[in-house]
Amino acid sequence: MPKKQKVRKGKRKRKKKISSQKWKKYKIESQKIESARSCPRCGPGIFLAKGKGRLYCGKCHYTEFIKE
């Protein structure tokens, strides 16, 4: 006979999401503020992620390959 599964009642435990940490995308050197490369489609504020030989936008899926 197959076993019956337990039915849980009440609230479920939620996984904690990692915050965006956009402050890591900016560097301050003397009087100059440098920012990471932003997406040309989405505009400023949406940054490209660095992968293995490529830059990627998670919002619009824009991909740019880096030539070495």
Tokens of 16: 């904690």
Q: Are residues 39 and 64 in contact, defined by beta-carbon separation less than 8 angstroms?
A: no
Considering the domain boundaries, does residue 32 fall inside one? no
Considering the domain boundaries, does residue 54 fall inside one? yes
Number of domains, the chain: 1
pLDDT tier for residue 1 given thresholds of 50, 70 and 90: low
Considering the domain boundaries, does residue 16 fall inside one? no
Considering the domain boundaries, does residue 64 fall inside one? yes
Considering the domain boundaries, does residue 52 fall inside one? yes
Give the separation between CA 46 and CA 40, rounded to whole angstroms: 9
Which structural domain, as residue segments, surrounds residue 67?
Answer: 38-68
Considering the domain boundaries, does residue 60 fall inside one? yes
Q: Are residues 26 and 35 in contact, defined by beta-carbon separation less than 8 angstroms?
A: yes
What would the pLDDT profile of 20-40 be if each residue is shown by its tens digit?
788 888 888 888 888 888 999
